[in-house]
Structure 1
């Protein structure tokens, strides 16, 4: 068969690249489990994939292609089972409904968020009563936020406290395309979140001092004031709580937010600094330098530093991935092999997916691996290797390095764009240029200064270096604000479809992982996926799952039903609407009639006027008037139960309907509705055991 023969020739030419697809195929199975709705769909896919695997094994006959197909089927099947098993292994009760509770709880963790003036507590309830004094059963692990001024002395890990808190089930997405905290909370074992109120009584103080991470963060922020201190703490411990919200937003808009998340850049800097210091210091001892391989000792010291830094910064997914990659690089260097390869990246991804398969659907994992894969794939290309090779003229060599930085920045921005558009509904334009300055500035100036300051702090000589570090990080913040304030620094986009995102990612991987000319068959997939994502339609109407907040598209931006919506809700509805402008008040828009209790407005779409009414307060509305109004409206939205006689012309969204659908987005030309909750969804965070009764 000529076609099979050509496939075998292609597989032989790509034999060194085939192992790189191991984590990709495992990830495909994991992604399928998250995308498909219920056990029947998961089982059907496993049967189909298993059938493909058996057919490939039967027809293999020694051929490389069929063996690869069979192995691919096994990996996809393993991914489905791995995600399913992980979700069931972390199963824990979840609160059924909002509840005001007086409880006694043990403190599991304390996380100060200085910039927001709050302290976040992870609690394990011991006993609890509701507002009427009846005993209630709470989930075994809950997260509560306290105002910083309400935090008592003696609060820490291991303390037992009494407090009053308003608790809520972990929230799902506000509307389709929003962040799904309920899913993230499921894998963290968090069954409820809420806000605690003073007074908080410490029944038994913490039996241990704050952890090293917390003490180090507090020490750094005491030495370096403001958001610069918060960035310094983030570089050392991964704690971003002391970074002001305006500064954090500027870093995001400038494409520099990755500097605040401890990952490959930071691990590489720590390992490199420790290796250089170790080798230089040991070289001062001639007897040792003549008898031992100092680079090997330096690599060992770097490995210890990488593991310690990973533990200190909380062992988040990007840090674990980077630590694994650093270990493999150091082993390769010790063996005299090439260090940075795509096999190393694949090994890191495989380890993370095996132990934390849920990381695949998070933006952190995707951004981290997309960036490193793009960098390594570009620098492995023969033409790039030749261009970056040694040059006798130092001026040309310097120019090449600057060009390499610019090329790397552009490639990384291109690789991260689909992920940023899909998760954050934004695309940055100047991130590559900003990173050319910010990455070397952070790696070769800020981090060495901070390391020196930390080493000298115990003997009281760190002051000048802390001051210098504050100035250096101040320059970084100035750069972030300058770039973020440039016209068009960020383009806001509506929510993109999942299939287009998957198509773009698959095409990008096809280009990055293969080496023959067949790799360019991935380019159409990337182009089509990106074009569909960028052309995603703007929703005409957004309704949150509680029915309290409604966003209506106007020419100037999104108009909000409630004038006093909080910052989080205002930002979220703007992002989901695909606009970067400040939200408007619906009551101030032409054609809108708003009273204390209701708003009525109209949207001209599809050659007709759509009439919309929504409740905007907790006050009761006379039913007779409400029923009469419903008959004149196309869409009615309410945060309460509406009478059965309320029959708008097209859609009624009261709290009964919204409990089934969750948040909703609507397009009116043609009329389409997207819901957060698929009625057939049987993922465990959608169908959980709910405590909270007597």
Structure 2
């Protein structure tokens, strides 16, 4: 019988779909037993999506997110074993977004909405130093003139200028001064780091400075006892160990970095050793490891005791409170909390007779950190520390450590080299993206300096704590001083090498997410599908290599501008708006100072008037009231930039201080003969931290 050609015949679409479904399900089933590390990834995706939103979600949006999470959980019960984890992952994405939104409003506090000058009163809770090496005080219990309590910032940070030698700066002391305060600053250019978001989650509602004497209103009374203990220990270390070595010793022991000079900080950065300054997983791991080894060895040398107790578990139980004490002493900042969570999870694995350093333990630590502080996902510390420990867990989990054990001391050296190499490669993209520099000799510097931290500084700190009870501190202080001086010497020598630090162009926003996802697929996925991570990594690197920089940049103050000239970024003024200009040059991958960059070709003028031509557009910068008043029209320019408000009606685009206060910094890209302008407000969006507070 002939078939009617008009009737539909058998289709291959159905079998093809069934084949594809079977292949996908088989690949998903291969992940069974390896799904836990994907849980923080899914949670992090939700958190990242929340922070990437241009506007704060409303009630309807949050209802939809909650419904999505519930539906995903219900689907997980109905789907097959292979596909159910996908639904659970979707629920975690929704949960991550909701968690980040809840945290945002949980920490909400008033933000100063205007420039304030007048009396400032508050209690000192933190003491550090600014980028220009000036002392800074962070105050809570803030009192400002003629401002109701509900409008006052929860915390303010004040930089001290002038002679303040009579001030006894210590946590808990109530001080008063006359100073300037202003809201936390926005990005130096569109899409750049937004300090307002970080300040929001720290409860920091204003920053400023004072040039007047800071007076004591009341001495410390109760509370903040751990802060005062930290300050006293830090001062004691700096008094007994002179110079930057004492500052480094205080930094790694108490988290107080105010004793390190700006030159030492820069040398540590350029040599790739700055991670030794900030208390992180390295310090916490070394301290816990030394306490663990000390207790376990003490049990092992007493045979009757060693036969009756599990030395490993007793050592873990002893190391956990030591880590908690270090956490309290170091100030409980985000990096230290993250390090404590990671070592606590690893010590818990020892107590549970599990392997301490595995991708599972890293995943549990990441989940805890993200639940406690979802905002840490977008911080450099979180990204770099978890990139390093994930890469190290994957490398040593692949059986590299057992292969080197038979090599004796050569194996120990090989493990150290391998660990430094793996951690350096894993953190390099994040360091380049956030800090715009690549340290050429970081591996060598770490191989030479890290043993001093591992065998002198951190053991010395533990022995100092033990010896302090008996009044025998000198041997421990000598160990700490020798270790710190060696580290600083290595940093200084390496930083002086030609090409020690290389500038890196800031990447587009999509680069780090793509790079991270590609790396995670390569590490976490089981089977040949892991190689799908390579195109993601390649795409991210291609986007980074092709990143373009703005031809024009205008500071949010209207006080300066910069253009991309034939020899690099030319800055209108050698001084002024230093923070913004430094950020511009760093994002260009340019390590030149502002004064040197101001001498390049691109901008003409001096004093109060500066002029630049970009294609058919002419940009004129006018500084000061008198120069603006004397200007006829726009002075022949198509774009007028000024640090004065209300420039008036003029036959050009006016970017005055009033307009820039609303838009923030401005960037311009050349398109044909014209300029495409974008403001910081365009990319920052309307979020709680950009709206001036609750």
User: Which of 627, 637, 645 pairs up with 1:633?
Assistant: 637
Counterpart of 2:445 in structure 1 is 434
For residues 56 and 126 of structure 1, do their structure 2 counterparts lie closer, same or farther at Cα, with a shift above 3 Å needed?
closer
Provide the residue aligned with 1:322 in structure 2: 339
Partner residue, 2:257: 240
Q: Contact between 1:156 and 1:205, CA under 8 Å: does it hold in 2?
A: no
* CA–CA distance in structure 2, aligned partners of residues 129 and 367 of structure 1: 44
Q: Using a 3 Å threshold, how does the CA distance of structure 1 residues 652 and 400 change in structure 2: closer, same or farther?
A: farther
Would you say 1:294 and 2:311 are equivalent positions?
yes
1:361 to 364, 373, 378: 378
Q: Which moved more, 1:70-79 or 1:294-303?
A: 294-303
How many residue pairs match? The answer is: 671
With over 3 angstroms needed to count, the CA separation of the structure-2 counterparts of 1:162 and 1:231, relative to structure 1, is: closer
Q: Distance in 2 between matches of 1:523 and 1:652?
A: 47
Pairing 1:101-116 to 2, within 5 Å after superposition: 101-103=118-120, 105-113=121-129, 116=133
- In structure 1, which of residues 180, 190, 193 is the aligned counterpart of residue 207 of structure 2? 193
Matches of 2:178 and 2:136, distance apart in 1: 15
Q: Secondary structure of 2:654's match?
A: strand
1:594 to 583, 598, 605: 605
Equivalent residue number for residue 18 of structure 1: 35
* Other structure's SS at 1:542 match: strand
Taking the TM superposition and a 5 Å limit, the aligned residue runs for 1:578-657 are 578-584=589-595, 588-590=599-601, 592-603=603-614, 608=615, 610-615=617-622, 617-621=623-627, 623=629, 625-629=631-635, 632-641=636-645, 643-648=647-652, 651-657=653-659
Which of 308, 331, 335 lines up with 2:348 in the alignment?
Answer: 331
CA distance in 1, matches of 2:144, 2:126: 20
**Residue in structure 1 matched with residue 5 of structure 2 by the alignment:** none
Change in 2 beyond 3 A, CA 1:195/1:352 = same
Offset at 1:628?
4.6
Q: Matches of 2:383 and 2:297 in 1, distance apart?
A: 37
Q: Which of 451, 457, 463 is the equivalent residue of 2:474? A: 463
Q: What residue in structure 1 maps to residue 660 of structure 2?
A: 658
- List aligned pairs for 1:260-659, cutoff 5 A: 260-283=277-300, 285-382=302-399, 384-385=400-401, 387-388=403-404, 390-391=405-406, 396-457=407-468, 459-565=470-576, 568-584=579-595, 588-590=599-601, 592-603=603-614, 608=615, 610-615=617-622, 617-621=623-627, 623=629, 625-629=631-635, 632-641=636-645, 643-648=647-652, 651-659=653-661
| Residues 111 and 609 of structure 1: CA distance in aligned 2, closer, same or farther (over 3 Å) | same
The 8 Å contact of residues 271 and 491 in structure 2, kept in 1 or not, is answered as: yes
Aligned to 1:684: 688
How far did 1:42 drift? 9.3
User: Are residues 273 and 413 of structure 1, via their aligned partners in 2, closer, same or farther at CA, if it must alter by over 3 Å?
Assistant: closer
Alignment of 1:64-79 (within 5 A): 64-79=81-96
8 Å contact kept, 1:128–1:136: no
Whole-Å Cα distance in 1 between the matches of residues 284 and 403 of structure 2? 27
My pick for the range that moved more, 680-689 or 150-159, is: 150-159
**Hey, what's the Cα distance between the residues in 1 that align with 2:388 and 2:105?**
31
Does the CA-based 8 Å contact 2:550-2:669 persist in structure 1? yes
Whole-angstrom distance in 2 between the partners of 1:569 and 1:40: 30
Match of 1:222 in 2: 239
1:32 aligns with 49
Residues 541-550 or 350-359, more deviating: 541-550
Matches of 1:665 and 1:334 in 2, distance apart? 55
Q: For the residues of structure 2 that align with 1:507 and 1:613, how far apart are their CA atoms?
A: 45
Q: Partner of 2:24 in structure 1?
A: 7
Distance 2:590 2:598 in 1: 19
- 1:180–1:311 Cα change, 3 Å: same
Partner of 1:166: 180
* Structure 2 Cα separation of the partners of residues 59 and 163 of structure 1: 60
The answer to whether the 8 Å contact 1:613/1:637 transfers is: yes
Preserved contact between residue 43 and residue 92 of structure 2 (Cα < 8 Å): yes
SS of the residue aligned with 2:413? Answer: helix
Q: CA RMSD in A?
A: 2.9
Q: CA-to-partner distance for each residue in 1:498-554, whole Å, 9 max, x for gaps? A: 112211111111112123221111011111102211331132222121111222223
Q: Matches of 2:244 and 2:83 in 1, distance apart?
A: 56
Report the TM-score when normalising by structure 1. Answer: 0.89
Q: Pick closer, same or farther for the CA change 1:435–1:627 going to 2, 3 Å.
A: same
Superposed displacement of residue 84, structure 1: 0.8
Task: Decide whether aligned partners of structure 1 residues 512 and 453 sit closer, same or farther in structure 2, where only a CA change above 3 A counts.
Answer: same
Query: For structure 1, which runs of at least 5 residues remain unmatched after alignment?
Result: none
CA contact (8 A) 1:119 1:147 kept: no
Distance 1:669 1:488, change over 3 A: farther
Which residue pairs with 2:108 in the alignment?
Answer: 91
CA contact (8 A) 2:502 2:591 kept: yes
Residue pair 2:464, 2:476 contacting (<8 A) in 1 also? yes
